[in-house]
Amino acid sequence: MAISLVRITCAVLLLLAGAARGASVLPDGSILVVGDSLSAGYGLPADRAWPAQLAGRLTERGLPWTVINAAISGDTSAGGRARLSALLERHRPALVLIELGANDALRGQPLSATAGNLRAMIDAARATGARVGLIGMQIPPNFGPIYTRQFHTMYRRLADETDVPLLEFLLEPIADDPTAFLDDGIHPNAQAQGPIADHVARWLSRAFGLPTLAADG
């Protein structure tokens, strides 16, 4: 009986937290991350990547969500779109976080194609009843000011058109710190994964009603 009361109390607190933020609470289940090397933890042990750190915080707090990191280094929006159906069928996630597009830009792909792939992924995830969050990226200015600006605004426009929550820039808390990256200057190092996990956790709290999971929360 005591365990049941604790579970009921936790559920009520989660509902109140979500209501306070104006976000409906995410149903129990899995959180599926579909992304590229920035979420796969390129060059790092799998348990150091930010999705693994987020998963650890959920487990430590005994919360009813798990994290499935389906990110693959080098993946593009087309690759994510191609493999999403199988992931949805296998995991039946409550929430799908889409972090793709950076490799499209590195390959000079048309933004219309990237946006079309991301939109198709959003639609496919929603068709299963999952909620969706879009994680944006920014690219260096050496791609040219027009393409760089259009790439950044693509995520906001797509989020507005599809009415999904957007995390504007995954690497925002570390972007200006050169010591937060591997020698390639592109991929976050092990020490940067915690701040990224905190950044995502605060967004999940605001957008999806999850409890505060940030390390300093």
pLDDT tens digit sequence for 145-186: 999 999 999 999 999 999 999 999 999 999 999 999 999 999
| β-bridge partners, 30 | 66
Q: Which CATH number fits domain 26-208: 3.40.50.2300, 3.40.50.720, 3.20.80.10, 3.40.50.1110?
A: 3.40.50.1110
Does residue 133 have a pLDDT over 50? yes
Catalytic hit among 37, 39, 77, 205? 37
**One-letter identity of residue 39:** S
Does residue 20 have a pLDDT over 70? no
Does residue 102 have a pLDDT over 70? yes
Q: Is 184 one of the catalytic residues? A: yes
Q: Give the model's pLDDT for residue 140.
A: 85
Q: How confident is the model at residue 217 (pLDDT cuts 50, 70, 90)?
A: low
Catalytic hit among 187, 198, 199, 205? 187
Q: Give the model's pLDDT for residue 14.
A: 41
Catalytic hit among 176, 183, 184, 216? 184
Q: Give the model's pLDDT for residue 23.
A: 58
Token couple for 134: 């879009």
| Mean pLDDT (whole number) for 81-109 | 97
Q: Give first-to-last CA distance, the chain, whole Å.
A: 30
| Mean pLDDT (whole number) for 60-88 | 97
Q: Is 30 one of the catalytic residues? A: no
Q: What is the pTM of this model?
A: 0.88
Q: Is 198 one of the catalytic residues? A: no
Q: Percentage of the chain with pLDDT > 90?
A: 81
Between 13 and 95, the higher pLDDT residue: 95
Contacts (Cβ under 8 Å, ≥6 apart) of 163: none
Between 217 and 130, the higher pLDDT residue: 130
Q: Give the model's pLDDT for residue 59.
A: 93
Does residue 38 have a pLDDT over 90? yes
Q: Give the model's pLDDT for residue 4.
A: 37
Residue 210 and residue 113: Cα distance in Å, rounded?
Answer: 32
Q: CB–CB of 112/120 below 8 Å?
A: no
Indicate the average pLDDT of the chain.
89
Residue 1 and residue 119: Cα distance in Å, rounded?
Answer: 46
- Measured CA to CA in angstroms, residue 100 lies from 50, 93, 121, 164 at distances of 15, 18, 11, 15
Nearest by Cα to 205 from 6, 26, 27: 26
